[in-house]
Amino acid sequence: MFQKILIANRGEIALRVLRAAKELGIQTVAVHSTADADAMHVRLADESVCIGPPPSRDSYLNIHQIVAACEITGADAVHPGYGFLSENAKFADILAAHNITFIGPSGDHIRIMGDKIEAKRTAKRLGIPVVPGSEGAVSDEKEAKRIAAEIGYPVIIKASAGGGGRGMKVALTEADLEIALATARSEAGAAFGDDAVYIEKYLQKPRHIEVQIFGDGAGKGVHLGERDCSLQRRHQKVWEEANSPALNAEERSRIGDICANAVANLGYSGAGTIEFLYENGEFYFIEMNTRLQVEHTITEAITGIDLVHEQIRVASGGGLSVTQNDIRFHGHAIECRINAEDPRTFVPSPGTITHFHTPGGLGIRVDSGVYSGYRIPPYYDSLIGKLIVHGRNRVECMMRLRRALDEFVVDGIKTTLPLFRELVGNPDIANGDYDIHWLEKHLAKGE
Ligand code: ADP
């Protein structure tokens, strides 16, 4: 087991990882920018190192500073959290070259899944269902037209190097294809320095359903069920549920087994998420995230398994603590992402939190790094906390969520709490009847 883990992140996820390390009796090192000197993860860690000025590229993304912080403190492993360097293959390789363990998959696996064309090709080879479309990059308009005619309109053009929803364009008919192809290509070139694009069928009313997997790096793989993250705004998840209100037990174990076998065959090591669009009973792979996700907490709620413990165990060579047969699903869990943002316009609202009071009671978990008097710096993403609610079934979970939202107080800044109070009372949400466009349509109605 590791002696000392450096946590290359900030905010609630740094705290989340720190807690898991402490429970395992491992020393912790926090790193922070000058803007985060008084952050909770710095206060609670055994040691801390300042790694640079506020902008992420000079601190949380500064590989040299982070490696230096490992050397100074004698950390033998790094947990990257999510975001920042968590899916940076070069970072994983550099740590390996310094004999520091990256708590995550190999640089090569990160690289495969970071290239969408390569990821899709690999998924298909491993028996994962994919969206019908081009085999690889499309070279010209003629080829694009031929493929689109084959799969049928509407189609979507996507950037191979894509991320954050950029470089994607929909063509409803052949008349739109030329412009969609050209704009997707130029956006991709500008945003990622790589203008390779591919084409796939555009699904019109899908849900976003993702499967949590774990590989032990030695040919074993398990799945921990799915999460439904269909409630999104601008491709950003807002509210997540486990299990999905749309799946039955047979569909759950079918897609789960496909994913578990795929990661086993890949020789994948650590936590990962295989993301799908789901429509009319079919799953379509869109991407794989090779890291812990923000919404991992709802999987923890329904399985009782600490995913960060498992990540640390696997990375240290101790293997997984569970087999597929040990994994059972209990009840229902929902996560609300509380952002420091205007609940209607989503404009960030940094500033000082004058009063912070979190709900409590059975089935309630709040993961947050903020406190009364905390000043939210304007440099980073606006997630200030996650409310995770667990109940024996979805109805109980929703009742408890409504109560917890009533108790939650964040004064001094705007937050997305009012949006969740609205959603928890909405009949479509109560019925689990929503797709990936539901939230944006709801917001557009201005209800
Ligand atoms: P990114 O990495 O940029 O987030 P993804 O491939 O994960 O790109 O897709 C992001 C979102 O774009 C999906 O959650 C979905 O809303 C939409 N999308 C992607 N591919 C399709 C498709 N074939 N049909 C319909 N919507 C799609």
pLDDT in tens, 304-348: 999 999 999 999 999 999 999 999 999 999 999 999 999 999 999
In which element (H, E) is residue 276 found? Answer: strand 269-279
Given a cut of 90, whether residue 167 has pLDDT beyond it is no
- Co-location of 239 and 282 in the same domain: yes
- Co-location of 285 and 394 in the same domain: yes
- Co-location of 76 and 178 in the same domain: no
- Co-location of 371 and 287 in the same domain: yes
Q: According to the model, what pLDDT value does residue 290 have?
A: 98
Q: According to the model, what pLDDT value does residue 164 have?
A: 75
| φ and ψ at residue 418, rounded to 5 degrees | -60, -35
Instruction: Summarize the confidence of residues 107-120 as an average pLDDT.
Output: 96
Q: Are 104 and 290 in contact (CB under 8 A)?
A: yes
**Residues annotated catalytic, as ranges:** 291
Task: Write down which residue in 152, 183, 201 finishes a domain.
Answer: 201
- Co-location of 413 and 434 in the same domain: yes
> What atom in ligand 1 is closest to the CA of residue 202?
24
Amino acid 260 reads: A
- Co-location of 154 and 242 in the same domain: no
Distance 276 CA to ligand 1 centre (A): 9
- Co-location of 46 and 161 in the same domain: no
β-pairing, 351-352 vs 364-368, is: unpaired
Q: How far is 78 from 76, CA to CA, in rounded Å?
A: 7
Looking at ligand 1, which residue's alpha carbon is closest to its atom 22?
202
Q: pLDDT for 173-200, tens place per residue?
A: 999 999 999 999 999 999 999 999 999 9
Total residue count of the chain as it appears in this document? 447
Residue 248 sits in a domain of what CATH number? 3.30.470.20
pTM, two decimals, is 0.96
Peptide bond into 343 cis (omega under 30): no
Share of the chain above pLDDT 70, in %: 100
Q: How far is 227 from 447, CA to CA, in rounded Å?
A: 27
**Cα–chain center distance at 41:** 20
Residue 178 sits in a domain of what CATH number? 3.30.1490.20
Looking at ligand 1, which residue's alpha carbon is closest to its atom 8?
165
- Co-location of 270 and 408 in the same domain: yes
Is residue 121 included in any domain, yes or no?
A: no
Q: For 113-131, give the DSSP string.
A: HHSHHHHHHHHHHTT--B-
Q: Which domain holds residue 285?
A: 207-446
CA neighbor of 246 nearest in space, from 389, 432, 439, 437: 432
Q: According to the model, what pLDDT value does residue 65 have?
A: 98
Looking at ligand 1, which residue's alpha carbon is closest to its atom 13?
235
- Co-location of 196 and 92 in the same domain: no
Task: Write down which residue in 174, 201, 228 finishes a domain.
Answer: 201
Distance 286 CA to ligand 1 centre (A): 7
For residue 395, count other CB atoms closer than 10 A to its CB.
11
Instruction: Summarize the confidence of residues 136-161 as an average pLDDT.
Output: 94
Q: How many domains does the chain have?
A: 3
Is residue 70 included in any domain, yes or no?
A: yes
Distance 227 CA to ligand 1 centre (A): 16
Instruction: Summarize the confidence of residues 248-267 as an average pLDDT.
Output: 97
- Co-location of 370 and 393 in the same domain: yes
CA neighbor of 141 nearest in space, from 187, 169, 180: 180
> What atom in ligand 1 is closest to the CA of residue 208?
14
Task: Write down which residue in 170, 201, 232 finishes a domain.
Answer: 201
Count of alpha carbons within 13 Å of 14, Cβ hemisphere only?
Answer: 27
> What atom in ligand 1 is closest to the CA of residue 200?
23
Contacts of 232 (CB under 8 A, 6+ apart): 208, 238, 436, 439, 440
Tell me if residue 214 falls in helix, strand or coil.
strand
Looking at ligand 1, which residue's alpha carbon is closest to its atom 19?
286
Given a cut of 70, whether residue 154 has pLDDT beyond it is yes
234: confidence class by pLDDT, cuts 50, 70, 90? confident
Is residue 61 included in any domain, yes or no?
A: yes
- Co-location of 420 and 279 in the same domain: yes
Distance 37 CA to ligand 1 centre (A): 37
